[in-house]
Amino acid sequence: MTLDPRWHVVEEKFDPKKMGHYESVFTLGNGYLGTRGVFEELYRERTPGTFVAGLFDQAHPNEVTELPNLPDWVEVSILLNGEELDLTQGQVLQYRRVLDLKGGVLTREVVWESPQGRRTALRFRRFVSLANVHLVGISIAVTPENYDGPIEFRSALNGQVTNSGTQHFTSIEHSTYAHRGIYLLQETVQSKQQVVVAANHVVHGVLLDESFKNAHRRIVYNAVLSGKRGQTVGIDKLTTIYTSRDQDLPRAVNLLHHALAASSRQTQQGFDQHLEVHQQVWEQRWQWADIEIVSDDHFDQLVVRFAVFHLIQMTPWNDPRVSVAAKGLSGEGYKGHVFWDTEIFILPFFLYSFPQVAKNLLTYRYLTLPGAITNAAQNGYSGAMFAWESADTGEETTPEVGGIDPVTRKPIPILCGKQEHHISVDIPYAIWNYYQVTGDRDFLLKEGAEILLLTARFWASRVSYNPDRDWYEIKEVIGPDEYKEGIDNNYYTNALVQWHLKKTAELVKLLKESPAGQCVLLKLGVTEGELQDWQVIAAKIRLPREGELLHQFEGFMELQEIDVLKYRDVPGLLQKAYGWEEINRSQVLKQADVVMLLYLLGDEFTLAEKRVNWDFYEPKTMHDSSLSAAIHSIVANDIDLAEEAYAYFQKAARIDLTNSMGNTHAGLHAASLGGCWQAVVHGFGGVRVKSGELSVTPKLPKAWHSLRFKLAFQGKRLQVSIRRDGYEVTTVD
Ligand code: IFM
Average pLDDT over residues 490-509: 98
Return the half-sphere exposure (C-beta side, CA atoms, 13 A cut-off) of residue 25.
28
Task: Kindly state if the Cβ of 339 falls inside 6 Å of ligand 1.
Answer: yes
Which residue, by CA, sits nearest to atom 6 of ligand 1?
625
The string of pLDDT tens digits covering residues 316-327 is 999 999 999 999
pLDDT digits (tens, 9 = 90+) for 241-293: 999 999 999 888 999 999 999 999 999 999 999 999 999 999 999 999 999 99
Q: Identify the domain containing residue 93 by its residue range.
A: 8-259
pLDDT digits (tens, 9 = 90+) for 428-454: 999 999 999 999 999 999 999 999 999
Which of ligand 1's atoms lies nearest the C-alpha of 482?
5
> How would DSSP label each residue in 606-633?
-HHHHHHHHHHHGGGB---STTSHHHHH
pLDDT, position 1:
80
Contacts of 276 (CB under 8 A, 6+ apart): none
| DSSP-assigned letter for residue 16 | G
Give the per-residue pLDDT at 626: 97
Among left, alpha and beta (phi > 0; psi -120 to 50; other), residue 385 is beta
> What is the distance in angstroms between the CA of the first residue and the CA of the last residue of the chain?
34
* Nearest residue to 412 (alpha-carbon basis) of 575, 560, 556: 575
Q: What is the SS3 assignment for 460-492?
A: HHHCEEECCCCEEECCCECCCCCCCCCECCCHH
Tell me the CA–centroid distance for residue 313 and ligand 1, in Å: 20
User: Ligand 1 pocket, 426 CB below 6 A?
Assistant: no
For residue 733, the model assigns a pLDDT of 81
Q: Rounded to the nearest whole angstrom, what is the distance from the C-alpha of residue 624 to the centroid of ligand 1?
A: 10
627 lines ligand 1 (CB under 6 A): yes
Which residues touch 17 (CB under 8 Å, ≥6 apart)?
45
482, 513, 530, 643: which one is catalytic?
A: 482
- Nearest-atom index, ligand 1, CA of 627: 4
pLDDT in tens, 330-366: 999 999 999 999 999 999 999 999 999 999 999 999 9
Percent share of the chain, pLDDT over 90? 97
CA pair distance 13, 21, nearest whole angstrom = 13
Q: Does the beta carbon of 625 lie inside 6 Å of ligand 1?
A: yes
* Opening angle at CA 447, ends 446 and 451, nearest 5: 115
The closest alpha carbon to 663, from 694, 690, 633, 625, belongs to: 625
Report if residue 212 sits inside a domain: yes
**Torsion angle, alpha carbons of 642, 644, 649, 650, to 10:** 110
Q: How many domains in the chain?
A: 1
- Tell whether the model's pLDDT for residue 49 goes beyond 90: yes
Q: Using the predicted structure, report yes or no on whether residue 569 has a pLDDT greater than 90.
A: no
CA distance 306 to 91: 31
Q: Whose CA is nearest to atom 9 of ligand 1?
A: 326
CA distance 610 to 595: 8
Q: Is 522 exposed, middle or buried (0-12, 13-18, 19+ CB in 10 A)?
A: exposed
**Alpha carbons 296 and 705: distance in angstroms, whole number:** 8
pLDDT of 571 reads: 85
- Comparing CA positions, the residue from 513, 360, 383 lying closest to residue 440 is 360
Q: Reduce the DSSP state of residue 710 to 3 states and report it.
A: strand
Q: Given pLDDT bands bounded at 50, 70 and 90, which one contains residue 300?
A: very high
CATH of the domain at 234: 2.70.98.40
Span from the CA of 535 to the centroid of ligand 1 (angstroms): 31
- State the DSSP string of 398-462: --SEEEE-TTT-SEEE--HHHH-TTHHHHHHHHHHHHHHHH--HHHIIIIIHHHHHHHHHHHHHH
- pLDDT value of position 163: 98
Percent of the chain with pLDDT over 70: 100
Asked whether 591 and 621 are in contact (CB, 8 A), the reply is yes
Coarse DSSP helix, strand, coil percentages of the chain, rounded to the nearest 5 percent: 35, 25, 35
295: burial class by Cβ within 10 Å (0-12, 13-18, 19+)? middle
Q: Which residues, including other chains, have CB under 8 Å from residue 438's CB and lie 6 or more apart?
A: 351, 355, 358, 359, 712, 714, 715
Give me the pLDDT at residue 379, please: 97
- Split at pLDDT 50, 70, 90, the class of 407 is confident
The confidence score (pLDDT) of residue 690 equals 94
Is residue 78 in a domain?
yes
* Rounded distance between C-alpha atoms, residue 265 and residue 176, angstroms: 16
Give the separation between CA 282 and CA 294, rounded to whole angstroms.
22
The protein residue with its alpha carbon nearest to ligand 1, atom 10, reads 326
575 falls within a domain: no
d(CA 640, CA 634): 10
Contact yes or no for 460/534 (Cβ under 8 A): yes
The alpha-carbon radius of gyration of the chain (Å, integer) is 27
The residues, ordered by sequence, that sit 6+ positions from 178 with a Cβ below 8 Å of its Cβ are 200, 260, 263, 264, 267
Most ligand 1 atoms within 8 A of CB, residue of 625, 655, 673 to mutate: 625
Cα gap 12→85, rounded to integer Å: 19
Torsion (CA) 39, 42, 43, 49 in degrees, nearest 10? 60
Q: List, for residues 527-539, the tens digit of each pLDDT value.
A: 999 999 999 999 9
Check if 561 is active-site: no
361-398 confidence digits (pLDDT tens): 999 999 999 999 999 999 999 999 999 999 999 999 99
Determine, yes or no, domain membership for 117: yes
Do 458 and 384 touch, CB atoms closer than 8 A?
yes
Q: Compute how many other C-beta atoms are within 10 angstroms of the C-beta atom of residue 529.
A: 8
In the chain, the amino acid numbered 301 is Q
Within 10 Å of residue 615's Cβ, how many Cβ atoms? 11
Report residue 203: phi and psi, to 5°: -105, 145
Tell me, in angstroms, the distance from the centre of ligand 1 to residue 288's CA: 29
In the reported structure, the alpha carbon of residue 425 is separated from the centroid of ligand 1 by a whole-number distance in angstroms of 16
| The pLDDT of residue 81 | 98
Q: What is the pTM of this model?
A: 0.98
At a CB cut-off of 8 Å and minimum separation 6, what does 704 contact? 293, 294, 295, 300, 684
Q: Is the CB of 289 under 6 A from ligand 1?
A: no
Give strand pairing partners of 307.
none
CB 338 less than 6 A from any atom of ligand 1: no
CB of 326 within 6 A of ligand 1: the answer is yes
Q: Could you tell me the distance, in angstroms and rounded to a whole number, from the CA of residue 673 to the centre of ligand 1? A: 13
Q: Is 432 in the pocket of ligand 1 (CB under 6 A)?
A: no
**Predicted confidence (pLDDT) per residue in 37-47, tens digit:** 999 999 999 99
What would the pLDDT profile of 204-245 be if each residue is shown by its tens digit?
999 999 999 999 899 999 999 999 999 999 999 999 999 999
Contact at 8 Å (CB) between 169 and 187?
yes
- Region 10-27 average pLDDT: 98
Give the HSE-up count for residue 84: Cα atoms under 13 Å, Cβ half-sphere. 9
- Name the nearest CA neighbour of 216 among 184, 256, 259, 176: 184
Q: How far apart are the C-alpha atoms of 571 and 521, rounded to whole Å?
A: 49
pLDDT tens profile 642-657? 999 999 999 999 999 9
What pLDDT is stored for residue 251 in this prediction?
87
On the question of pLDDT at 406 being above 90, the answer is no
DSSP code of residue 44: T
Residue 528 lies in a domain: no
Q: For the packed helices 449-462 and 515-524, what is the interaxial angle rounded to 10 degrees?
A: 40
Q: What are 57's strand-pairing partners?
A: 66
Residue-averaged pLDDT of the chain: 97
Q: Report yes or no on 102 lying in a domain.
A: yes
Is the CB–ligand 1 distance for residue 586 below 6 Å?
no
Ligand 1 centroid to 207 CA: how many Å? 52
User: Distance from the CA of 646 to the center of ligand 1, in angstroms?
Assistant: 23
Q: Phi, psi at residue 287, to the nearest 5°?
A: -55, -35
Question: Under 8 Å CB-to-CB from 657, ≥6 apart: which residues?
Answer: 9, 25, 302, 303, 306
Ligand 1 pocket test, candidate residues 314, 339, 340, 478, most atoms within 8 A of CB: 339
Q: Is there an atom of ligand 1 within 6 Å of 482 CB?
A: yes
Cβ neighbours, 10 Å, residue 395: 18
Strand-pair category, 169-177 with 549-550: unpaired
